[in-house]
Amino acid sequence: MTMSVFLLYARRLLKRPFALLVAVVMPLVLVQGVVLQYENATKLTVAVSVPDPTFARFVEGRLDAAGVEHTTVAVADRSSAAGVLVAVDGTPAEVAGHPDALDAHVDQGSVSANGVLLATRLDSIVSTLAYLAGTTHTAQGLERALDRYDAAPAPVRTSTQVLGNPQRTVLQSSFNMIVFVMLLLTMSNILVFLKDKQMTTTQRILVATRSTLTYYLQLVALFALVAVAEFLLMVAAMRWVFHVPVGLSPGRGALLVLAYALFNVVAISVGLLLVSRTEKESVGRLLVTAVTLPAAMLGGALWPLTIMPTWMQQVAQVLPTTWVTQLNGTLFSGFTPPTWDLVRPLLLLGVLAVVLFTALSRLPSERV
């Protein structure tokens, strides 16, 4: 009797293979997008379209030395290459002594700061080709100059140092995206309740429960459990299927799971409050969309909060999505965070959950 609502809905979920399939398949499909976000953030890749083997060897050798991945693109496929592209036409025989005969260009693709930096390097590589072409008169002379360039040691070296966790950026953006995915999955589950409300199933269940609060506690507990299972499934897929080094200590991992569980409790509670406002599916969908998308957009789930204007960042501070994305930043940072930075989002989520439950428990039974 005490867990009757929990068990009833759990049974309904397990009895519907389609719902179960969606609960398992959707996180797995969506985690691919998350992993792509991870891979896009870590890879420096250039498309190389240089038909002449001498020039191709030179360009690719420079990219290899810089640790930049490269793909080879045929001349005919240049128009279909995406990302940063370097294209060089001409042969040593044609350009030796005639650097203007070197037909080269660098396309930045979709411009980003990294694309600009890569393009700067490629511009210099092509400029070097043109310079050496201008200082030689024969194909053999140009080839020898290129060999001498390759053999010469770099006059300046660089070393890099990362302060904190080198994986932070990619893991933070990946887990921020998971916040969005979880919000989508959770809010979609909410629409199931509209049907129950229309069919008066909810009213009949309510009669059998001790109170509205008990009903909501059991319902939210079940869907939070499903959401945590989906979250763990996504993290497991990231770790063992896509080999993303999540690298969290057990303590921080537990904190993350707790935060996502609380976030889902809040999301489900907000959804149930929205559902209580209407009996129409069309209005329910509108309300859910009107809450989900802005919460994800403003809460840092889709892009970093820091790129938004200050007033929007201030507005975002009241959103639970922001609390979780900020916790992601803290947990994946390589620095030791102040305890308050870890406790604050959990505390806020907990308090909000209590407020929402209070609001839910006071709903008149006909609106539940």
Instruction: Report 106-145 residues binding other proteins (CB under 8 A).
Output: 106-128, 130-132, 134-136, 145
Encoding tokens for residue 54?
A: 């001498």
Give the list of residues 6+ apart from residue 323 with CB closer than 8 angstroms, or none: 263, 344, 345, 348, 349
C-alpha to C-alpha distance for 95 and 136, rounded to whole angstroms: 9
Site for other proteins contains 101 (CB under 8 A): no
| Main-chain phi, psi angles of 69, to 5 degrees | -70, 145
Site for other proteins contains 25 (CB under 8 A): no
Q: Which stretch binds other proteins (CB under 8 A): 6-14, 170-178, 209-217, 223-231?
A: 170-178
Site for other proteins contains 89 (CB under 8 A): no
Q: Please report, in angstroms and rounded to a whole number, the separation of the first and last CA atoms in the chain.
A: 20
Please choose, from the candidates 49, 69, 144, the residue with its C-alpha nearest in 3D space to the C-alpha of residue 114: 69
| Main-chain phi, psi angles of 163, to 5 degrees | -90, 110
Q: Which stretch binds other proteins (CB under 8 A): 2-10, 204-212, 232-240, 285-293?
A: 285-293
Site for other proteins contains 170 (CB under 8 A): yes
Cβ proximity to other proteins, 170 vs 256, nearer residue: 170
Neighbours of 6 (CB within 10 A): 19
Site for other proteins in 176-205 (CB under 8 A): 177, 180-181, 184-185, 188-189, 191-192, 195
Cβ proximity to other proteins, 115 vs 345, nearer residue: 115
CB of 236 to other proteins, least distance (A): 20
Cβ proximity to other proteins, 113 vs 207, nearer residue: 113
By CB under 8 A, name the one of 76, 80, 207, 336 that touches other proteins: 80
Cβ proximity to other proteins, 128 vs 361, nearer residue: 128
By CB under 8 A, name the one of 71, 72, 289, 358 that touches other proteins: 289
Site for other proteins contains 310 (CB under 8 A): no
C-alpha to C-alpha distance for 269 and 223, rounded to whole angstroms: 10
DSSP character string of 275-337 = HTT-S-HHHHHHHHHHHHHHHHHHTTSSS-GGGS-HHHHHHHTT-HHHHHHHHHHHHHSSS--
By CB under 8 A, name the one of 11, 280, 338, 366 that touches other proteins: 280
Site for other proteins contains 76 (CB under 8 A): no
By CB under 8 A, name the one of 70, 285, 344, 367 that touches other proteins: 285
Site for other proteins in 320-359 (CB under 8 A): 329, 333-335
Chain-centroid distance of CA 117 in Å reads 23
By CB under 8 A, name the one of 15, 158, 207, 240 that touches other proteins: 158
- Write 324-327 long-range contacts (CB < 8 A, 24+): 324/179, 324/259, 324/260, 324/263, 324/299, 324/349, 325/172, 325/176, 325/179, 325/299, 325/300, 325/301, 326/300, 327/255, 327/256, 327/259
Please choose, from the candidates 173, 180, 179, 174, the residue with its C-alpha nearest in 3D space to the C-alpha of residue 293: 180
Cβ proximity to other proteins, 89 vs 94, nearer residue: 89
CB of 183 to other proteins, least distance (A): 9
| Main-chain phi, psi angles of 313, to 5 degrees | -65, -35
CB of 361 to other proteins, least distance (A): 26
Cβ proximity to other proteins, 287 vs 353, nearer residue: 287
Cβ proximity to other proteins, 101 vs 213, nearer residue: 101
